């Protein structure tokens, strides 16, 4: 484990005590899931990094059917008040992911808990909004 990963592991232990669920980094990654089995947050501390990266799957898309959806998703990245520092990205499997990055030097136990909890809440809001938006585009 790198020094950055050890730091996040300690913060994660404090967070996991509050939610009464054992959580650990494995190869620099810890995955949290909601009650529906969806990714709530993937915490990642890449090797040689001094940042915590949080991301989660928002929705899957079909590359052909989503040509009208992609511009709308990119426009959301400019809605700074709504996105609260997060951004949307498309992974290699055409899954839309919500992403957020935070410097490890600015994280203590309380800030870490607020960042993770805030990201999980933001992911829920964005997932619900995009699901509604996709429903309107299909209808």
Domains of the chain: 3-138 (3.30.1460.10)
Instruction: Check: CB of residue 45 under 8 Å from CB of residue 25.
Output: yes
**Residues 50-59, buried b or exposed e (16+ Cβ, 10 A)?**
eebbbbbbbb
Q: Determine the number of helices (DSSP H) and then strands (DSSP E) in the chain.
A: 4, 5
How far, in Å, CA of 49 to CA of 37, rounded?
A: 29
Taking the model in full, what pTM does it have? Answer: 0.90
How far, in Å, CA of 103 to CA of 98, rounded?
A: 17
Is residue 18 very low, low, confident or very high in pLDDT (cuts 50, 70, 90)? Answer: confident
How far, in Å, CA of 86 to CA of 84, rounded?
A: 6
Q: What is the mean pLDDT of residues 118-124?
A: 97
Alpha helices (H) in 47-105, listed in sequence order: 69-76, 80-83
* Sign of the dihedral defined by the CA atoms of residues 89, 91, 97, 102, in that order: negative
How far, in Å, CA of 45 to CA of 27, rounded?
A: 9
- Of the listed ranges 5-9, 26-30, 36-40, 129-133, the one predicted with least confidence: 129-133
Phi-psi region of 48 (alpha: psi -120 to 50; beta: other; left: phi over 0): left
């Amino acid at each position: 484990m790198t020094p950055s990963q050890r730091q996040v592991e300690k913060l994660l232990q404090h967070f996991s005590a509050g939610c009464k669920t054992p959580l650990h980094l494995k190869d620099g990654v810890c995955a949290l899931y909601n009650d529906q089995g969806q990714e709530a947050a993937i915490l990642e501390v890449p090797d040689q990094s001094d940042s915590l990266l949080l991301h989660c799957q928002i929705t899957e898309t079909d590359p052909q059917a989503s040509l009208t959806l992609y511009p709308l998703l990119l426009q959301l990245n400019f809605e700074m008040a709504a996105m609260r520092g997060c951004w949307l990205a498309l992974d290699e499997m055409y899954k839309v992911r919500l992403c957020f990055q935070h410097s490890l030097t600015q994280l203590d136990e309380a800030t870490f808990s607020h960042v993770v909890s805030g990201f999980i809440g933001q992911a829920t809001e964005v997932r619900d909004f995009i699901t509604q938006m996709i429903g309107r585009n299909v209808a």
